[in-house]
Amino acid sequence: MASSSVLNQYGKSNTIVSGPLHRNAASNFYLVPQSGRHVEIFDDFIHSSYSATIDGEGTWGATIDSGGAITSGPVAGGVLVMTTDTTDDDDLQLHSHDEWFSFDSGKDLSFEIRAKCDNTNVSLFYGLCEIPIVGGDANATILAESCVGFHLDEDANLYFVTGNDSSVTDTDTGIDVVADTYNTMTFTYSANDKTWRAYVDGVLKVTDSAVATNPASEMGILISMRNGDGSANITSVDYVYCSAEM
């Protein structure tokens, strides 16, 4: 791999890269394009805490509704732990500080996250979206913006969505997530055939070529959670990765 990457003291990689990268052996696809210039972010989450001002000149910002918290856990390799308050519909968002990823139908894009939640009666979004997203009916707000990612809506059905502010293509992956069980969720956009592909645990689940719902604006990484029953629910994120051709 040819790269100008420098891992900072938190273990994050904010990189401009070129060349073949990160072949996923399970599904035999490349997480990033194999030529050209890219912006790449990878985080293994080894901060001690996250707040609205964390890493103000770096990668992440946070929106915390009531008494919830976003921290890192004592796990080898790092883990992000998002815990809601017991207030009904309490929500949390971790988002990149800016919209660093711009969709272009002539350029490749890749995203991957490994995550789990202790309850399926929650609203979750993992992916890219116009930011910031603050409070309210979190998923309804996200899906009304330019976005692409995976989401749950207070049940176990995992969906893949692309949206462009006014309309969405929202597809059931056929996966029912299991509480407190990690899934690796990956999506790619190929400039070759103008197609989105969504993978769960390395298996292709969705193919989407609906041009009308391609994102229309710049986006940032967004990890969003809202409880559904007034419980203190916990989402754990092992890592997040995104790369876009520039």
CATH label of the domain that carries residue 148? 2.60.120.200
Which residue, among 191, 196, 135, has the nearest Cα to 164 in the 3D structure?
196
Q: Which carries the bigger pLDDT value, residue 85 or residue 173?
A: 173
Q: How many domains, in total, are found in the chain?
A: 1
What pLDDT is stored for residue 56 in this prediction?
45
Please, what is the average pLDDT of the chain?
79
CB atoms under 10 Å from CB of 45, counted, come to 25
Which residue, among 200, 195, 185, 175, has the nearest Cα to 237 in the 3D structure?
185
Query: CA 42 to CA 144: how far, in whole Å?
Result: 26
Give residue-wise pLDDT tens across range 131-187: 755 555 567 778 888 899 999 998 999 999 999 877 899 999 999 999 999 999 999
Query: CA 246 to CA 234: how far, in whole Å?
Result: 35
Which range of residues forms the domain containing residue 189? 2-245
Burial class (CB in 10 A: 0-12, 13-18, 19+), 94: buried
Q: Which carries the bigger pLDDT value, residue 114 or residue 216?
A: 114
The pLDDT of 6-27, averaged and rounded, is: 35
Give residue-wise pLDDT tens across range 189-232: 999 999 999 999 999 999 999 888 999 888 989 999 988 777 88
Give residue-wise pLDDT tens across range 37-62: 778 888 888 765 565 544 444 578 88
Q: pTM of the entire structure?
A: 0.83
CB atoms under 10 Å from CB of 143, counted, come to 21
Say what percent of the chain tops pLDDT 90. 38
